[in-house]
Amino acid sequence: MERIYNFSAGPSMLPISVLKEAQKQMLNYNNSGMSVMEMSHRSKVYEEIINGAESVLRDIMAISENYSVLFLQGGASSQFAMVPLNLYSENKTADYVNTGSWAIKAIKEAKRYGTVNVVATSEDTNYNRIPALDKSKFNPKADYFHITTNNTIEGTRFTAIPDTGDVPIVADMSSNILSEVYDVSKFGLIFAGAQKNMGPAGVTLAVIRKDLLGKALDITPTMFNYKTHADENSMYNTPPAFGIYICKLVFEWVKEMGGVAALQKINEEKARILYDYLDESKMFRGTVEKKDRSLMNITFVSANKELDAKFIKEAVSNELIELKGHRLVGGMRASIYNAMPTEGVIKLANFMRKFEAEN
Ligand code: PMP
């Protein structure tokens, strides 16, 4: 069977060259006589892999030396607890922007350990936009300010990073890391699950400003303390070794593609193809306010639920899969992360056009 165009929200497509490289090295990595899955994480050969992953990531994201790069486990969902446990260091209070499902989960965890001030929410419009931020609502004494840069389920993204003064910004970048250029120095902490733009599920990335380390609440479990992992180069315990190796290959692929800026251009073009069609279509429409549209997760609906279901079913027969929207939002969602080729997006747009003409 040919490779299929998979529009899943994550895990999602990986670059074919990365998969082929991993295949080539599967039985015998670099003349070690074994696969990466079988080698000791303390071995020299593995050390080169994890250090290489970090160094290429630092390069493509322009991460300076005053940040630690951590390869963790537990998914971005564990970060929802790890963030407050580590950063509620002064006043045990944080500002959060409620932009939908993942922000809600993050808020719920943070409330266990301190006070959450929701500075803005788009709940009133079912999270179809990024709410306007009123700086006078920001708490200057907050320990941190949390945003979800891209909202995977709702299909929105922040197009500007708020100015929070001295309050460190914590960003959940799970679904748009490496898809557009960010100035890392604007953030205190960036975290992301790997399974969209970086590699297989099981690796969770955290990039944390070093001055924020070492202030965790006393109750913080050792494994949930960023400092534990920063001090041990992400090797306090056995890291998700194979996943980190695939991430390294993906980081190298990003670099070969011309870096994040080059991918951003491609991503903008891919998203434009779909949004332009949605704007001209008489059958489909995008569900999100235009100014806040995600480049990664394109959410849309047709005239009714029956037609949505028919569309999703016929798409599968055309080798366009995983287009069903999240159950909380309904309709359709096309997730077009870095590894989704432009041809896949064009094929989807053409299929939508044909479907509209026939129905
Ligand atoms: N935050 C965002 C924005 C996400 O999209 C996801 C996963 N889809 C998560 C957090 C949770 O990630 P994980 O499944 O790795 O815990």
| Whole-number percent of the chain with pLDDT over 70 | 100
Q: Using alpha carbons, list the distances in angstroms from residue 50 to 139, 176, 272.
A: 38, 22, 36
Quote the ligand 1 centre to 27 CA distance (angstroms): 32
Q: Out of 95, 143, 196, 292, which one is annotated catalytic? A: 196
Rounded to whole angstroms, the Cα distance separating 19 from 42 reads 25
Nearest CA among 278, 302, 308 for reference residue 290: 278
Domains, the chain, ranges and CATH? 5-15+259-358 (3.90.1150.10), 16-256 (3.40.640.10)
Q: Using alpha carbons, list the distances in angstroms from residue 284 to 267, 280, 310, 357.
A: 21, 9, 13, 12
Which pLDDT value is given to residue 328?
86
Which pLDDT value is given to residue 1?
61
Helix, coil or strand: residue 256 = helix
Q: Using alpha carbons, list the distances in angstroms from residue 192 to 44, 87, 314, 344.
A: 27, 17, 33, 25
- Which protein residue has the closest C-alpha to ligand 1 atom 3? 174
Rounded to whole angstroms, the Cα distance separating 215 from 85 reads 9
User: For the segment 183-210, what is each residue's pLDDT rounded down to a tens digit?
Assistant: 999 999 999 999 999 999 999 999 999 9
Q: What does R_g of the chain's alpha carbons equal in angstroms? A: 21
| C-beta of 193 in contact with ligand 1 (< 6 A) | yes
SS3 content of the chain, % helix, strand, coil (to 5): 40, 15, 40
Tell me, yes or no, if 215 is annotated catalytic: no
Are β-strands 332-335 and 297-301 bridged in parallel, bridged antiparallel, or unpaired?
Answer: antiparallel
Residue 37 phi, psi dihedral angles, 5° rounding: -65, -25
Q: Out of 95, 102, 248, 253, which one is annotated catalytic? A: 102
| C-beta of 152 in contact with ligand 1 (< 6 A) | yes
Quote the ligand 1 centre to 328 CA distance (angstroms): 15
For the residues of 63-116, what is the DSSP string, one character each? --TTEEEEEE-SHHHHHHHHHHHHH--SSSEEEEEE-SHHHHHHHHHHTTTSEE
Amino acid at 209: R
Quote the ligand 1 centre to 107 CA distance (angstroms): 14
| C-beta of 77 in contact with ligand 1 (< 6 A) | yes
Mutate to test the pocket of ligand 1, among 77, 105, 299, 335 (most ligand atoms within 8 A of CB): 77
Tell me, yes or no, if 310 is annotated catalytic: no
User: For the segment 161-178, what is each residue's pLDDT rounded down to a tens digit?
Assistant: 999 999 999 999 999 999
User: For the segment 83-109, what is each residue's pLDDT rounded down to a tens digit?
Assistant: 999 999 999 999 999 999 999 999 999
Mean pLDDT by runs of 10 across the 359 residues of the chain is 91 98 98 98 98 98 98 98 97 98 98 98 97 97 98 98 98 98 98 98 98 98 98 98 98 98 98 98 97 98 96 97 94 98 98 97
Residue 35 phi, psi dihedral angles, 5° rounding: -85, 165
In sequence order, what are the residues at sequence separation of 6 or more whose Cβ sits closer than 8 angstroms to the Cβ of residue 139?
93, 95, 117, 119, 167
Quote the ligand 1 centre to 32 CA distance (angstroms): 35
Which pLDDT value is given to residue 84?
98
Tell me, yes or no, if 196 is annotated catalytic: yes
